[in-house]
Chains A and B, each alone.
Chain A
Amino acid sequence: MSSELTRLTAVELAEKIHSREVSAVEVARAHLDRIAEVDGQVHAFLHVAEDAALASATLVDESLAVGTPPASPLAGVPLALKDVFTTIDMPTTAGSKILEGWRPPYDATVAARLRAAGITILGKTNMDEFAMGSSTEHSAYGTTHNPWDLARVPGGSGGGSAAALAAYEAPLAIGTDTGGSIRQPAAFTGTVGVKPTYGGVSRYGLIACASSLDQGGPCARTVLDAALLHEVIGGYDPLDSTSIDAPVPSVVAAVREGARGDLSGLRVGIVRELGGEGYQPGVRASFEQATAQLEKLGAELVEVSCPHFEYGLAAYYLILPSEVSSNLARFDAMRYGLRVPGAGSAEEVMAATREAGFGAEVKRRIILGTYALSSGYYDAYYGQAQKVRTLISRDFAAAFSQADVLVSPATPTTAFPIGDKIDDPLAMYLNDLATIPTNLAGTAALSVPSGLAADDSVVGLPVGLQIMAPALGEAVMYRVAAAYEASRPFPSAPEVSP
């Protein structure tokens, strides 16, 4: 019974819990057992909050028992939370040694909304340190393994959340996407990952990587589950100064409409600059099948050109480190987190602590950002990158005047072997080629499984279809994803055996 429960979608679980066919506690227990069974191999979780999860599920059951309507459509459903959101009852590390053992004094808005919705938080998931990376290999707490092939990375930075879904350790997860950290792991693990419009989900209590790019979002195994979670976590938050004061797009209704499988009248733009050279043949083949499928569903395919996208990666790796170098200055060994003991001055303690507490990738990006912001280089690097950002936004605006959504492969390759790119930062950065433009423009995008590429593995590895929409245009993006998903059943990940 317990193993069967972990195979169900969030919607199916909610239905059983709310009709009291099974209890929220049984559902939580089944997932905790599954974690105990397989996480030794997958390592999706940094912290499992067994007692808190069971206590939260008990409250849901008690409330349903006295006839109170469920607090949300997902009440009682378990979830894996990326360890970059502060939680008052669980440690929060952001994958870094500098925050080892830290207990935040407050909940992130996302965590508070999950609790208010009656969602069971199972624990905190692994990630590249401070969300800098594309593989989880930059976590200070070890690498997460891809359930499709344990010798491969699950993507990053949110590899823990994506792997938890693919390994049936949780039906729902939360990630954050600064340059692709939700979408790339979704693509690598055959799951659904959504990067909402910038400002659509509160950043309060989300430990900052690059503040102008960071965005929390839902992860799930189905488009409908992601949409339900999106509506729980989305919406205006006065505690986040960049939160958009507008209603959450009606994404659940859009999914139900999309699932009927009719996309007639919809224009789907194929971005000429994303998907050619540098993309693995199996990824390209899967993408071609996906666009053909969208056409069969009634969509009109149009080719669009976004000529400045090719400069997106370069602009991103100037803007992001610049913001990182400023944001991570807060880890100063004075108020919270690690302090390396020593008899020196505050400045010496600070330098020794940051040296001991930060990993190589974080240090590289801090140094790079410090360089890009230094006088004499500012105009040529950071200033010019900001202009490229304007041009990319203009490219999107022009493309969205010709198409309702844009599509591309979510990633240039499928999941790569652990260790393959760890010594070559630039090769690692290329993972985000197709996802970065969306972050720079603040628009919305998702990755939905589009099939398997057999290039590099006998079973084949998952490929993601990226669907991009204008700011606050989530509804149309979800509609297309749901139509596509309904027409192209996707295989389950091979069993991770205990």
Chain B
Amino acid sequence: MVADTGGITRDEVAHLARLARLAVTDAELDVFAGQLDVILGAVARVGEVAADDIPPTSHAVPLENVFRPDELRPCLTQEQALAGAPAAEDGRFRVPQILGEEQ
């Protein structure tokens, strides 16, 4: 289970940035690719631990579903919820066009 530490390329970093909706600059790509390569090389150490029979831990406290009675309780007003919006209209968030022309 040792990770392939073949390194991370500039193109891969660009692809990941697109997936994460980050319009990174060319200069950032140059810096990040080298830094992320070093970091990945270090964190790949987790693969040195033989742990095939070890269960994963996602959370230190075992999580259970939490239920409450299905009753109305105080919550934000529409005005409060929209107060920080970059743009609002008719009680709703106003957002830029979501679909492209061809969609």
Contact = CB atoms under 8 A, between A and B. Distances in A.
B83 A103 contact: yes
Given A242-B63, A352-B23, A387-B49, A367 B36 contact: yes
Contact of B46 (A212, A325, A355, A381): A381
B56 A381 contact: no
A303 B51 CA distance: 25
A335 B84 contact: yes
Contacts, number: 191
Contacts of B84: 102-105, 335-337
A380 B47 CA distance: 7
Chain B CB within 10 A, most for which of A212, A244, A329: A212
Given A367-B17, A384-B49, A212 B39 contact: no
A363 B55 CA distance: 31
Given A244-B61, A355-B22, A390-B57, A371 B96 contact: no
A36 interface: no
A261 B39 CA distance: 45
Interface string A102-123: 1111100000000000000000
B46 A367 contact: no
B37 to A, nearest CB: 11
B36 A364 contact: yes
B88 to A, nearest CB: 9
A291 B28 CA distance: 46
Contacts of A244: 61
Given A198-B61, A242-B61, A345-B96, A367 B56 contact: no
B66 A241 contact: yes
Nearest to B33: A367
A308 B49 contact: yes
A65 interface: no
Interface in B11-62: 12-13, 16-25, 28, 31-32, 35-36, 38-40, 42-49, 51, 54-61
Given A105-B84, A318-B43, A334-B93, A371 B24 contact: no
A393 interface: yes
Contact of B56 (A313, A337, A349, A386): A386
Contacts of A1: none
A349 B22 CA distance: 10
Given A103-B84, A105-B76, A370-B19, A315 B54 contact: no
Interface residues of B, number: 60
Interface in B58-91: 58-61, 63, 66, 68, 76, 80-81, 83-87
Contact of A351 (B12, B22, B56, B100): B22
B1 A380 contact: yes
Contacts of A339: 86-87
Contacts of A103: 83-84
Nearest to A385: B46
Contact of A314 (B2, B36, B44, B56): B44
A320 B85 CA distance: 28
Given A363-B22, A381-B43, A442 B60 contact: yes
Nearest to B64: A241
B23 A384 contact: no
B7 to A, nearest CB: 12
Contacts of A342: 96
A391 B35 contact: no
A21 interface: no
A364 B22 contact: no
B46 A241 contact: no
Contacts of A347: 21, 98
A344 interface: yes
Chain A CB within 10 A, most for which of B8, B57, B76, B80: B57
A314 B43 contact: yes
B51 A368 contact: no
The 5 closest A-B pairs by CB, nearest first: A442-B60, A386-B56, A336-B84, A339-B86, A380-B3
Given A314-B43, A367-B17, 11 more contacts: A238-B68, A317-B42, A325-B20, A334-B93, A355-B23, A364-B35, A368-B40, A380-B4, A380-B44, A381-B43, A387-B46
5 contacts: A342-B96, A360-B32, A363-B22, A366-B22, A426-B38
Interface of B: 1-4, 8, 12-13, 16-25, 28, 31-32, 35-36, 38-40, 42-49, 51, 54-61, 63, 66, 68, 76, 80-81, 83-87, 93, 95-100
